[in-house]
Amino acid sequence: MKRPHIQAISAGMLASFSIAAGYLPIAFSFGVAAVQAGLDARVAVLTSLLVYAGASQFLLISLLAAGAGLWTALPTVLLMNARHMLYGPALVAQDSASAQKSNGQLASPWLAFGLTDEVFATAMSKQAQIAPEQRDLWLLGLQLGAYATWVGGTVLGVSFVREVANWPSAVRDGLDFVLPALFFALLLETGIRRWRVPVLIAAVTALGLGFFLKSYHALALAIVAGALGQGIDTHRTTP
């Protein structure tokens, strides 16, 4: 019979399979895109190991490839990742039992690193079904499965980047669109109940490009506008 802590971690890793199915092609395309943008394969893998931020990694290599310096790229990536600071408190607040300290509870930094968008969404929908004393280990297993897939997908991407040139053009074009497709799918899942913010972001980006701003400057401006717009929209709709 499995020990309780091993069982909890295993259950979390099993729950990560749906995340892994989406992460593998995206991480693969990141590895390919990073090498094609001029990054060393080892740097690309190291980025996935240490940054582990999905869309922000694509943004980082896009900014660097477009000629943006570190003083532009790093603040933009940090701004894009600022939403992650809200994930931990939201998970704790979802269930009062998870806020109670119990013996063997993992330190917060171990659980904070792996809270990506998809891990957060999965945990929010499933953690209530997990016994309170097992939630930390279950969440750790969920994160380990997602993290291993992301790093493994990046390794595959940098390893087979030369083979991609021989693939059909439709598949190569699909790799370029896999990340926007993921976020568009996530947007559709919300039902686009609040359409004002996406429209605002699109308008600000278009105006920035229309005024001949660099693409990364227009993107940073759109991120700020989207964050402000979301805050105002949430404030107006909160009773």
- DSSP per-residue string spanning 160-209: SHHHHTTS-HHHHHHHHHHHHHHHHHHHHHTTT---HHHHHHHHHHHHHH
Rounded to two decimals, the pTM is: 0.74
Question: Which residues have a Cβ under 8 Å from the Cβ of 187 and sit 6 or more positions away?
Answer: 198
pLDDT for 42 equals 94
User: What amino acid occupies position 49?
Assistant: L
Comparing 209 with 156, which gets the higher pLDDT? 156
pLDDT for 74 equals 82
pLDDT for 1 equals 40
CA distance linking residue 80 with residue 77, whole number of Å: 5
Q: How confident is the model at residue 98 (pLDDT cuts 50, 70, 90)?
A: very low
Q: How confident is the model at residue 206 (pLDDT cuts 50, 70, 90)?
A: confident
Comparing 177 with 49, which gets the higher pLDDT? 49
Closest by alpha carbon to 58, among 41, 84, 33, 22? 33
Closest by alpha carbon to 6, among 160, 188, 137? 137
pLDDT for 234 equals 57
Contact 13, 135 (CB under 8 A): no
Question: Which residues have a Cβ under 8 Å from the Cβ of 108 and sit 6 or more positions away?
Answer: 88
pLDDT for 71 equals 79
User: Is residue 203 pLDDT above 90, yes or no?
Assistant: no
- Mean pLDDT of the chain, nearest integer: 79
Q: How confident is the model at residue 77 (pLDDT cuts 50, 70, 90)?
A: confident
Residue-wise burial string across 81-108, b where 16 or more C-beta atoms lie within 10 A, e elsewhere: eeebeebeeebeeeeeebeeeeeeeeee
Contact 127, 95 (CB under 8 A): yes
Contact 144, 12 (CB under 8 A): yes
**In a 3-state reduction of DSSP, which class is residue 108?**
helix
Comparing 92 with 136, which gets the higher pLDDT? 136
Q: 212 — alpha (psi -120 to 50), left (phi > 0) or beta? A: left
- 152-188 pLDDT, tens digit per residue, is 999 999 998 888 878 787 777 777 676 666 666 656 6
Q: Where are the beta strands (DSSP E) in the chain?
A: none
